[in-house]
Chain A
């Protein structure tokens, strides 16, 4: 099945640094979401974006819905050890089934 492209695939950063990751699609979505998944757990919703160009924050997290509706970006400021995990973007179009199409994931590791 289709998966969205996320980059980088993985990253090591130091505690306190800012992090940026992005997600691109060959098709348009009218909703973009960002999830975080810890080992052995299900994805946890971080941010939802509903409008092209929208910029939304949730604490240290900021995400943007790309103008073309084919991409989205997630920034994490002042990273802390509990930010470790895999971050997934997901696109959705409302319709008969509001299925989520997920990205390939960005694995974040934070060193002290």
Chain B
């Protein structure tokens, strides 16, 4: 059974640029949730995708957007990057609303 994978592992971007992060869900899972974890803090919920549609959103601006594909993999897109967007971005997959299993994360640095 393959766990949750994310790419890339690390990324450095310049303020104002756009970034796309990718997540492959665990085998058998149909729901993907994205979280932002700033240094020294717990993860914060960004949004969740279920059956290719956004299924709930946290307190993040519209420049954070996402997609889910028919194979349940997902992308997180962030436009107009700001310095405060520097964080570890975590993807978690689950079957419906059951327990969420996390990937290793993508470390994004905005300079």
List residues of A whose CB falls within 8 A of some B CB.
1, 3-4, 33, 35, 40-45, 48, 88, 90, 94-105
Contact = CB atoms under 8 A, between A and B. Distances in A.
A41 B103 CA distance: 8
20 contacts: A1-B58, A3-B42, A41-B104, A42-B90, A42-B103, A45-B99, A45-B100, A45-B101, A94-B97, A96-B55, A97-B47, A98-B94, A99-B48, A99-B56, A99-B58, A100-B35, A100-B43, A100-B92, A104-B41, A105-B40
Contacts, number: 70
Given A96-B56, A97-B56, A99-B58, A1 B102 contact: no
B34 to A, nearest CB: 10
Given A1-B58, A45-B99, A94-B97, A99 B45 contact: yes
Given A1-B58, A42-B105, A99 B33 contact: yes
Interface residues of B, number: 27
B24 to A, nearest CB: 13
A97 to B, nearest CB: 2
